[in-house]
Amino acid sequence: MDAFAPSPDVALRPLTVRMATPRGFCAGVDRAIQIVERAIEKFGAPVYVRHEIVHNRHVVDRLKGLGAIFVKDLDECPDDRPVVFSAHGVPKSVPAAARSREMLFLDATCPLVSKVHVEAERHHANGRHVILIGHAGHPEVVGTLGQLPEGAISLVETVEDAEVFQRPGDAPLAYATQTTLSLDDTSEILSVLKRRFPELPDPHKEDICYATTNRQEAVKRLADGSDLVLVVGSKNSSNSIRLVEVALRSGAADARLIDDASQIDWSWLDEVSTVGITAGASAPEPLVEAVVRALQQRFAVTLADDPGEPETVTFKLPRALTS
């Protein structure tokens, strides 16, 4: 916590600030950002990136400043410049199109998302119809749906969807999940599906990525005893949104999603004595530090690190960037 400099000693109202552990960048996000940075170093600017590399405005803006150009579709990329696929994964048709154009492409798909793709393909190869639990339109869901032929996966978003899902024909069933969902919500949906289709395996937390699970467990600890939980993350970040939901469900009187310190509404803290702070898996730590400094300018802050195990997971970079 040495990075947080205290404010001058003035008569400020006391405020306890509890810091979640773990918080912020996960291994998949760190790897994806490094891929863009190293591609720019190795091949020069510009490097094209299909979709936001991760869902954080500050990260995207910084990479733009280094020479990254973010596009929605591969058609917007020239043949002679490298293109990076985002951490959320892409349908199989995208790398196939890049190969047909003889493009240099780098796949920054999180290895844990790739694991979901492999599992979906394995289920399909074994003749099972796959139920995908996730949010329609999210890039990760689009990428997973695009791993199998049309009609081979059914998307289930809610408990209500699970109640009305109909098995296609007499095919045996399997399931896969979006990695950034709430563990609790996923368990509820799977419980309904399991009741209706007993052949499905029991819910288990390994279907949600380790980073999502760890951050949700950390925010549950924060919510117990915090009047307000601040989640640093962008509004299009699924895992950050889930952290707000988990905090509220776990007992926090209030929880708010903020991109950075400038988005704090100070009226939120009028009756607050304890604030919990965490960050989504795509939010850089300097944004968290800036939130703490902003609090220290207005309150007599006592900082406390909540108990939690630091993460040591790392993922290898593509060989094209290390050779």
Location of structure tokens 């300018």: 297
SS3 of 16-52: the string is EEEECCCCCCCHHHHHHHHHHHHHHHHHCCCEEEECC
Task: Report, as residue numbers or ranges, the catalytic residues.
Answer: 140
Q: List, as own/partner pairs, every contact residues 123-129 make where C-beta atoms lie below 8 angstroms and the sequence separation is at least 24, other chains included.
A: 123/174, 123/176, 124/148, 124/149, 124/152, 126/174, 127/171, 127/172, 128/171, 128/172, 128/173, 128/174, 129/153, 129/154, 129/167, 129/168, 129/171, 129/172, 129/173, 129/174
Query: What is the pLDDT, as a whole number, of residue 210?
Result: 87
* Packed helices 183-196 and 238-249: angle between N→C axes, nearest 10 degrees: 90
Structure tokens at 136: 């329609």
Lowest-confidence segment of 149-153, 223-227, 307-311 by average pLDDT: 307-311
Average pLDDT for the chain: 93
Q: Is the peptide bond before 82 cis (omega within 30 degrees of 0)?
A: no
CA-wise closest residue to 57 among 290, 258, 306, 303: 258
Query: What is the pLDDT, as a whole number, of residue 208?
Result: 72
Is the Cβ–Cβ distance between 23 and 215 less than 8 Å?
yes
CA-wise closest residue to 219 among 147, 278, 280: 278
Query: What is the pLDDT, as a whole number, of residue 74?
Result: 97
Query: What is the pLDDT, as a whole number, of residue 202?
Result: 66
Structure tokens at 133: 């639990």
Query: What is the pLDDT, as a whole number, of residue 229?
Result: 98
Instruction: Reply yes or no on whether the pLDDT at 117 is more than 70.
Output: yes
Confidence of residue 209 (pLDDT cuts 50, 70, 90): confident
Instruction: Reply yes or no on whether the pLDDT at 7 is more than 80.
Output: no
**Total-model pTM:** 0.91
Q: Tell me the mean pLDDT in the region 107-118.
A: 95
Instruction: Reply yes or no on whether the pLDDT at 217 is more than 90.
Output: yes
Q: Backbone dihedral region of 154: left (phi > 0), alpha (psi from -120 to 50 degrees) or beta?
A: beta
Instruction: Reply yes or no on whether the pLDDT at 1 is more than 90.
Output: no
Instruction: Reply yes or no on whether the pLDDT at 177 is more than 80.
Output: yes
